[in-house]
Amino acid sequence: MDQAFSHGVLNGIYSFHASAYAYAEYWNNSVWKHQSVNFKGITRRQVWQAFVQESIRTIASTYKTDLTLRDGLAIDEVTKEAFELLGQNGIIQAAKEHHCSECTHAYKRTSDIRASADPAATLGDDDASAL
């Protein structure tokens, strides 16, 4: 996979809080089905691989490091080696001192949203958000 695709995966997963499965489904339904190539599409594993590798590449670039890993590593080995090379006492410092309203929230014991026993019961009820 190329870096443009990997960067799109990274942005999509962070921007939309999407899972690798949801991003693969989005890609296959909106982009891939318009291709003339006879291929089934991308898988969740391919999206996860792109996400992990692009995340590591981005972090390495903030450290101004050209990270080179052995070929053929399983994705869990890629992350282990990245932590060994980029981590400082087991922590990657790229987000140190970072906090914003998107990723930092005060602890809440209970949710603001109360789910009913039957979620379908509120279908079509415009006032259901007031529950």
- pLDDT value of residue 127: 52
C-beta of residue 71 within 8 angstroms of C-beta of residue 27: no
Strand partners, 88: 91
Residue 25 domain-assigned (yes or no)? yes
Residue 115 domain-assigned (yes or no)? no
CB under 8 Å to 43, separation ≥6 — which residues? 24
C-beta of residue 57 within 8 angstroms of C-beta of residue 74: no
Residue 110 domain-assigned (yes or no)? no
C-beta of residue 46 within 8 angstroms of C-beta of residue 1: yes
Q: pTM of the entire structure?
A: 0.64
Residue 7 domain-assigned (yes or no)? yes
Q: Report the candidate in 56, 44, 45, 43 with the shortest Cα–Cα distance to residue 3.
A: 56
Domain count, the chain: 1
Secondary structure letter of residue 103 according to DSSP? T
Torsion of CA 44, 1, 64, 96, to 10 degrees: -10
Range of the domain at 42: 3-96
- pLDDT value of residue 47: 93
Supply φ then ψ for residue 88, to 5 degrees. -120, 105
Residue 84 domain-assigned (yes or no)? yes
- pLDDT value of residue 66: 86
Task: For residue 15, give the H/E element and its range.
Answer: helix 3-16
Residue 23 domain-assigned (yes or no)? yes
Residue 58 domain-assigned (yes or no)? yes
- pLDDT value of residue 45: 92
- pLDDT value of residue 77: 92
Would you write out the chain's pLDDT as a tens digit for each of its 131 residues?
A: 578 888 888 888 888 888 899 999 988 888 777 776 667 788 999 999 999 989 998 888 888 888 888 888 998 899 888 888 888 776 777 666 666 666 666 777 776 766 555 655 555 555 545 54
Residue 129 domain-assigned (yes or no)? no
